[in-house]
Structure 1
Amino acid sequence: MKPSATATPGSAAKFIVCSALGLIMFFVTITINGKSTIPLDHLTNWVRSVLGPSQKYIVLLAIAAGAALPFIKGTWNRSRQDRIFSFCKLIGLLCAAMFVFGWGPAELHTNKNLFPFLFTVLCSSLCFLIPIAAVFLSFLTDYGLMEFVAIFLQSVMRKIWKTPGRSAIDAVASFVGSYSLALLITDRLYREGKYTTKEAFIIATGFSTVSTTFMVVVAKTLQLMPYWNFYFWTTLVITFIVTAIVVRLYPTAHVTEAYADGVTPQPEEVITGNRLSRAWQEALLASSASGNIGANVWRSTREGLHMVCNILPTIMSIGLFGMLMALYTPLFNWLGYIFYPFTAMMQVPDALVVAQALATSIAEMFLPAAFVVKAAIAARYVVAVVCISELLFFSALIPCILSTTIPVSIPKLLVLWVERTILSIILAGAVALFFF
């Protein structure tokens, strides 16, 4: 057992106050000027209203930075995957410039599901929401709240998800932080011998969801902010239930349980005794070691800015490609028939439209939202949940997973995507039947 932290007024106060601020900003709904939403959303809307028309140039600048970074850092040609995505980012910059300056075919500008949706609805929202959320994200992640919560999850992680108790921190990191942060944690622990290959595979493909910040964007797009807490917590529960099921199916069930080559296995300590007392001590340890609040906020903000620059160009390029495929080819209509029996079985309104919309999630997790903005609330809820809990998409998460040392193949990821989407439809559909 780790040594006890000293319960000084400073470390205890930092844990309580900072964690409370993070919880308030992300989870407490307040009403301002007749609009009920979380403080983070209110703050983002205020910043965007102050910036007015100039915000599109800030978005364009962020996209330009994201397109240039791989070439500035010399990472664009490290692998075929890096070359492909670096090229996609350049295409994304071109698309953003076309929208801002009115270049190119009129259809791209007049069709509300193309440039207007990708740039104005998605990129503009993310460009300001993610950095502002990052300012407050450190209050959720750096001062002991994650460690406090994780202690209570440890007793069930192995039994339900077949992963060590420490993987609870990875799961929480994804929901309150980002999949990129969680994947960094997972890959590092795998290389240190603290996860087996199977455990790392489960964590990377089962817990690495988009963050709370992205969920806010989805909820705003589909007009679900009045139901924010209901949407957030049901999505979290559904995502974890889906993961508990797929770990017992192919391909996850067949992944080797050996450790990575050349590492010394380091199984985790089994925690016994009073969990509340241990959780408090772990929280104080984290709070005591957290360092300067200003430095933590700056680090978190810097990571948020880097994420914005990384994801916006791919949304404009891969997102546009996915939208064009969805609007002008039958590909996703065909793929949608895989999911149609399940949306119909769960009595989701516009079942075929929802199924075909969800088929686009493999390209970009935001795309399904574009096709159901005007749908019934039950349909919007199902899409909002499934596009989070299906988890895997080519514009960001899949490249991140493939860039780790964890052995993962694209065919296995595609099988997992189908499994997770079907299970998510069934569970979200059941919730929608009772609630809406």
Structure 2
Amino acid sequence: MNNDNTTKIDSKSIMKFAIPSALGVFIFLFPLPWNGSVNIPIGILSEWLAALIAPAAPTLITIFILISAIMTAITSLLKPKAIIDNKLLSKLFTSSPFYLLFKIIGAVVVLMVYFNVGPEYVISGDTGGTMLSLLKTLVAWFFAASFLIPLLMDFGIMDYTGTLVRNFTQPLFKLPGRSAIDLLASWVGNCNVGVVLTTTQYEQGYYTAREAITIATCFSAVSLPFCLVIAALLKVEHLFIPFYAILTITGILSVVIMTRIPPLSKYPNEYYAPVGKQVNEVEPQGITKSQWALKLAVERAATAPDAKGVLNKGFEMFMGIVFQLTPLVMSFGTIACILATYTPIFNWLSVPFGYYLQMLGVEEAFAAAPATIVGFVDMFLPAVLAANIVSLKTRFIIGILSLVQIIYMTEVGTLIITSKMPVDFKGVLILFLEKTIIALPIIVLLTNIFGIA
């Protein structure tokens, strides 16, 4: 098939699309038995890297955050030409006063935690210590993903699947077909990697703002092994099949609803202005959908970077995460953990959800209420708060809710609000609350249907 003078589809061009794409699908989506559980290859690799760098990780992360804060302050105050005129350095260290402030806070906090000096509420294992530990894992995940994500983005698999399945994703989720691979990678794999994949696609002109925000806030789920961890912590692991089934059904139904109402429906359906629209999934007349899908995929693969280009892109992506995001994750996450651990604010704020749970017929409604909103801080906290609830059914419901909400400020929320997507802290908070309100009755109904008691 050769439809124009610029595209030649032969076995060589097809293989250039097919082999890297198949490898990317395997690495990011293929479940494997591992250490008595199930994991995906990128997860296995990241866990290995995390264990490998564990002895040096706290020191490295502290150095990265200090360099970020110092260099950003120098850039903001002195505007040195060597940084401003360098594309990569300018991207890494140019910041607004707001983010500069929180980078400095992140640097102060990480120094206090690293040297174990300062108030207990800052450096304890429930606050700053937790965040430094989380960052060790995050850095390993992002290092692996930064160099492997091009297999999904640059060699045509998203273009190919996008054309074939747009008639499914568009009416159901109001999303382009190419999002199918992104949705799966975000749902099955690591939620942070899913957000990075989504924001990169937005910045390259393949999603509108509304589409990118929808995927980042509604499809970024935790990995299957972590679902097992949460189920075990809540002592409902023997019910894991209905647990994960209800989790998946609730996730799908909540997105179907949320995409049709504000605030998601009100975000601009416009592409990132500096690049504009870069996607066309609708096949022209005289060509079948499958032919058009293959043509787009081969054209995309033909422009893919070589090995050196992939390494350069991966390096830039990883540097961006290390110097731009780790200080903010450290500062935002520690502040959120302090509020959750050392203040009654979440107990106060959760009172309406106590009445909501009571109305839905959930046992121990007010005891469970704080667990319905503390997930905004971190995905692990709801399970910790709900672990001592007597009712198995209530623990089951809270466990599923915590995994459906998955917009938490210690990781995903910070990645979203510091991206180029037009969504801020207030928008993320509203989406979290809306998802909670919508998901709860669905979870309770399905729990009753499945006969969980």
Distance 1:29 1:118 in 2: 28
TM-score (structure 2 length as normaliser): 0.72
Query: Structure 1 residues 228, 44: closer, same or farther in 2, change over 3 A?
Result: farther
Name 1:179's counterpart in structure 2.
Answer: 195
| 1:99 alignment counterpart | 113
Corresponding residue for 1:245?
A: 257
Q: Is the 8 A contact 1:251 1:416 kept in 2?
A: yes
2:371 to 343, 354, 357: 357
Distance 1:314 1:266, change over 3 A: closer
Distance 2:18 2:269 in 1: 39
Q: For 1:397 and 1:76, how far apart are their aligned partners in 2?
A: 29
The residue that corresponds to 1:205 in the other structure is 213
Quickly say closer, same or farther: Cα 1:158–1:252, change in 2 above 3 A: same
For 1:68 and 1:211, locate their aligned partners in 2 and report how far apart those are by CA, in whole Å: 35
Superimposed CA distance per residue, residues 187-241 of structure 1 (whole angstroms, 9 cap, x where no aligned partner) = 675xxxx98xxxx453243122498797579658747899999999987775554
Q: Structure 2: which 5+ residue stretches go unaligned?
A: 80-89, 389-394
User: Cα 1:337–1:308, aligned 2, differ >3 Å: closer, same or farther?
Assistant: farther
Q: How does 1:160-175 map to 2 (within 5 A)?
A: 160-162=172-174
Note if contact 2:329-2:411 (Cα within 8 Å) is conserved in structure 1: no
Against the structure 1 CA distance between its residues 258 and 279, is the aligned structure 2 distance closer, same or farther, given a 3 Å change threshold?
Answer: closer
Q: Deviations over 1:332-390 (max 9, x none)?
A: 2233234445556777787656542342444x454646745957566434312211599
Q: 1:133 aligns with which of 145, 155, 167?
A: 145
User: Cα distance 1:216–1:138, how it changes in 2: closer, same or farther (>3 A)?
Assistant: farther
Asked if 1 retains the 8 angstrom alpha-carbon contact of 2:333 and 2:411, the reply is: no
Q: Tell me the distance in 2 between the aligned counterparts of 1:217 and 1:309.
A: 29
Q: Is the 8 A contact 1:152 1:279 kept in 2?
A: yes
Tell me the residue number matched to 1:57: 59
Question: Is the 8 Å Cα contact of residues 29 and 184 (structure 2) preserved in structure 1?
Answer: no
Is 2:43 the counterpart of 1:41?
Answer: yes
Secondary structure of the corresponding residue to residue 9 of structure 2: coil
* CA displacement at 1:303 relative to structure 2: 0.5
> Does the CA-based 8 Å contact 1:392-1:398 persist in structure 2?
no
Q: Is the 8 A contact 2:159 2:178 kept in 1?
A: no
Deviation per residue, 1:134-153 (Å, 9 max, x gap)? 22222222211111221123
The structure having more radius of gyration, on CA atoms, is 2
Q: Name the amino acid aligned to 2:439.
A: S
CA contact (8 A) 1:366 1:387 kept: yes
1:117 has 2:116 as partner: no
Give yes or no for the alignment of 1:384 onto 2:398.
no
Amino acid in structure 2 at the alignment position of 1:62: F
Cα gap change, 1:124 to 1:290, in 2 (>3 Å): same
User: Which of 14, 23, 26 in structure 1 is aligned with 2:25?
Assistant: 23
Instruction: Say if 2:451 is the partner of 1:418.
Output: no
Q: Percent identity?
A: 21
CA distance in 2, matches of 1:213, 1:314: 21
Offset at residue 173 of structure 1 (A): 8.5
Q: Structure 1 residue 12: deviation in Å? A: 2.1
Distance in structure 2 (CA, Å) of the matches to 1:139 and 1:157: 22
Residue 16 of structure 2: aligned partner: 14
TM-superposed CA distance for 1:290, in Å, is 1.0
Of stretches 296-305 and 246-255 in structure 1, the one that deviates more from structure 2 is: 246-255
TM-superposed CA distance for 1:265, in Å, is 10
Q: CA deviation at 1:421?
A: 2.5
User: What is the Cα deviation at residue 308 of structure 1?
Assistant: 3.4
The two structures have a TM-score, normalised by structure 1, of: 0.75
Unaligned runs of 5+ in 1: none
How far does residue 411 in structure 1 lie from its aligned partner after superposition?
5.5
Q: Does the CA-based 8 Å contact 1:357-1:367 persist in structure 2?
A: no
Evaluate the alpha carbon distance shift between residue 20 and residue 266 of structure 1 in structure 2; reply closer, same or farther with a 3 A threshold: closer
How big is the shift at 1:57? 0.9
Q: CA deviation at 1:71?
A: 3.1
Distance of 2:295 and 2:269 partners within structure 1: 32
Q: Secondary structure in 1 aligned to 2:55?
A: helix
User: Any idea what SS the aligned residue of 2:335 has?
Assistant: helix
Q: Give the superposition deviation at 1:316.
A: 2.0
Structure 1, 283-292 or 60-69: larger mean CA deviation: 60-69
Query: Hey, what's the Cα distance between the residues in 2 that align with 1:371 and 1:146?
Result: 38
How far apart are residue 89 of structure 1 and its match? 1.6
Instruction: Quickly say closer, same or farther: Cα 1:11–1:168, change in 2 above 3 A.
Output: same
